[in-house]
Structure 1
Amino acid sequence: MRFASLGSGSRGNATVVDVGSTRVLIDCGFSIKETERRLERLGIHPSRLNAILVTHEHSDHIRGVIPLARKHDLAVYMTAGTHRALSSTPLTGIHLNLIDSQSEFVIGDLAVTPVAVPHDAREPVQYVVRDSDNLSLGVLTDLGSITAHVIQRFNRCDGLFLECNHDITMLANGAYPPSLKRRIAGAWGHLNNHQSYDFLKNIQTSQLQQLVLGHISEQNNSLEAVQAMMGNLSSHPGSVHYACQDDGVDWLQLS
């Protein structure tokens, strides 16, 4: 199994997973043109994708999903709640699959486990995907708090993409209006650096090969702050990478 980030942040998110004959996108928050450009950088043509897994309806995760699926005849998977949130968006001309947020499903060579998370969307999920060799990748962004369910589902992953959205002090002293600050910092908003650090301390990381820290706010966080947080861990789990908005992260291998 290998995976890469096309880019991660408030201006667009997408993660590609490639195993055997199966390639999926998790979210697509970029325009068609930009998504195709970023996929080309990774050596992937969009027509070679099998499906797009949607986490929730916010534009930085779903902007390009429907147009890309229509253009390249791709299947789309989302929860019924996300579907209802898109009631004003025409979804004709795509292969839409509504998923149960508590039930595993299969796409080609991948077993996909949706994980319900606390976020201010209609029925948001994150995903753990597993191949036939039992290698697993967890993608965990866009949640305001860590629940016991999240810890259970993302424990012992071989690869992990984890949100480090904001630094508490930078957000508090930043230029955002108070209402937006409360939303981001709330239990249904986004993880701050300390929450991500605590999460890593509370899961088993002995088999973690690749850790990617992403969804790093360009206004309310810094790469230096996230790196300093990682430096406080008693032992660094696997190889650590940082997914930025413009460049994402190149292919990382799990074996």
Structure 2
Amino acid sequence: MQRLLEAGVDPGQLHALFVTHEHGDHARGVVAVCDHLNIPFYASFGTARKMDWVGHDRWRCIRADEAVRVGSLEIIPVVVPHDAQEPLQFVLQNADGHRLGILSDLGSLTPHLVDVYQGCHGLQVEANHDPQLLQTGPYPPSLRARVAGAFGHLSNQQCAEFIRRVNWPGLRHITAGHISEKNNDRYLVSQVLAEAIGCEPHEVTLLEQDMISPWYHLNDQ
């Protein structure tokens, strides 16, 4: 709630909450927030079952590729390879046809995923780790294998590959997030993504875990 207020958003303006998967940094506090605001939350059956939300009167079941409309927004759930129970990410489209793609917590790229994210005017994408820093970092071998695996998290290079495959003249803004503080280096992220985006490293927008991002306009204004 506090971060919404800091971003200049009245929590009372929220109509719904969408959950990607059950991991704590994505699902913690969902019920409390929705109860407080008297709004529904949307999640896959797998996520709801894992969180013991099945039967909750605020839960709405969503399925991959079945669009949901909330107000003037159309939200398209997208299935992703991640070590969770039926994880989803989202592409949002407004009434003017502008599309925002949110992509985080996945270990590999699929042809279907790349296809769904075509034509986005804005992207928020994961650049979680540098492979070499991950292998020499503090994580135990089992956790390193999980992060680097096909159901873990995207490396800087995988993030860059995704950007190359969905880039088009209408893509106005790209932000990189979910950047590991232990297994990555922001300088490396900027270097790798700048080449994919076609800009200078200092022009790459990297999100901070403990800071609110600025607002970005996806229209032509």
- TM category (shorter chain) comes to over 0.9
Q: CA deviation at 1:233?
A: 2.8
Query: Percent identity of the aligned residues?
Result: 38
Q: CA deviation at 1:234?
A: 6.4
Give 1:211's aligned residue: 174
Contact 1:55 1:61 in 2 (8 A): yes
Give 1:118's aligned residue: 81
Task: Tell me, yes or no, if structure 1 residue 53 matches structure 2 residue 18.
Answer: yes
SS in 1 for 2:214: strand
Give the one of 83, 86, 95 matched to 2:58.
95
Mapping 1:81-92, distance limit 5 Å: 81-87=46-52, 92=56
Per-residue CA shift, 1:116-154, capped at 9, x if unaligned?
000000000100000011000000000000000110011
- Indicate the structure whose relative CO is greater, using CA pairs within 8 Å and at least 6 residues apart: 1
Contact 2:7 2:212 in 1 (8 A): no
Give 1:3's aligned residue: none
Give the one of 134, 151, 169 matched to 2:132.
169
Q: CA deviation at 1:58?
A: 0.4
How many pairs align? 217
Separation in 2, partners of 1:165, 1:44: 28
| Structure 2 unmatched runs, 5+ | none
- Deviation above 4 Å: which 4+ runs of structure 1? 89-92
Contact 1:210 1:240 in 2 (8 A): no
Per-residue CA shift, 1:223-253, capped at 9, x if unaligned?
111111123236249x742111010312111
Separation in 2, partners of 1:142, 1:168: 16
SS in 2 for 1:144: coil
Give 2:38's aligned residue: 73
Judging by fraction of residues, say which structure has more helix.
2
Q: CA deviation at 1:90?
A: 8.6
Give 1:21's aligned residue: none
**TM-score (normalised: structure 2):** 0.93
Separation in 1, partners of 2:132, 2:161: 17
Judging by fraction of residues, say which structure has more strand.
1
| Structure 1 unmatched runs, 5+ | 1-35
Separation in 2, partners of 1:158, 1:240: 16
Give the one of 184, 207, 210 matched to 1:243.
207
Q: CA deviation at 1:91?
A: 7.0
Mapping 1:12-27, distance limit 5 Å: none
Separation in 2, partners of 1:182, 1:126: 23
SS in 2 for 1:114: strand
Mapping 1:119-158, distance limit 5 Å: 119-158=82-121
